[in-house]
Amino acid sequence: MRALVIILIASLQVMAQSLNKYSKYSLFTDEKACRVGDVVTVLVMESSQAMNNAKTSAGRDSKINLDFSGGVGNVTVPSVTGQTETGNEFDGKGSTESRGIVRTRITALVDSVLPNGNLHIKGKKKISVNGQEQFIKVSGIIRPVDIKGNNVVESYNISNAEITIEGSGMIDRMQSPGWLTKLFHWLF
């Protein structure tokens, strides 16, 4: 009997120690990222709009008139008249407009945990379709309280966020000017 009680007590201690490693998990929500190496899903929903209009107008007009006539004694000197006019006008207009919308999901890795508990994350994703490659990169600092129960954080909750989308392929090459055009723009 004594041996049975000792075995029972020893097994309870072993079970208690193994349950201790699961104490951070919730019974009601999914596991949230909290350590280096954990992953978190970033829901990127960004839209930007910028507009700039400029108008410049300048004008200048100047006239110089010279009229000389006279005489010496009874002799008259023929009259001399001169007139010069100059004018200069400039009218310049410019307009710039840019809009962008990005919506995607990307999984990022917790790179480091800051002393206050905030998490530094980095993630990248490569998508290839028909020879077109698109690279999406995200990095920044998130607060653990901003991570939802399904381990998702919205991009607007990322501090010092860097979201980069780059593409390469046939469409990218067709949108950039050729080398001859680049040469003419450089020369002129």
HSE (side-chain half, CA atoms, 13 Å) at 103: 1
Q: Is 3 exposed, middle or buried (0-12, 13-18, 19+ CB in 10 A)?
A: exposed
What burial letters (b/e) apply to 95-130, b meaning 16+ CB within 10 Å?
Answer: eeeeeeeeebebebbbeebeeeebbbbebebeeeee
Sign, CA dihedral 138-143-146-150, equals: positive
Residue 123, pLDDT score: 94
Residue 121, pLDDT score: 95
The set of residues, in sequence order, having a beta carbon less than 8 Å from that of 124 and lying 6+ positions away, is: 106, 135, 136, 137, 138
DSSP alpha helix (H) spans, the chain: 2-20, 170-175, 179-187
List the structure tokens of 135.
């690279």
Residue 14, pLDDT score: 55
Q: Which tens digits make up the pLDDT trace of 100-135?
A: 787 889 999 999 999 999 999 999 998 888 778 888
Residue 110, pLDDT score: 93
Residue 19, pLDDT score: 46
Residue 109, pLDDT score: 93
Sites in the chain below the pLDDT cut of 70: 8, 10-30, 66-73, 75-78, 80, 82, 169-176, 180, 184, 188
Residue 142, pLDDT score: 94
Residue 149, pLDDT score: 84
pTM metric for this prediction: 0.55
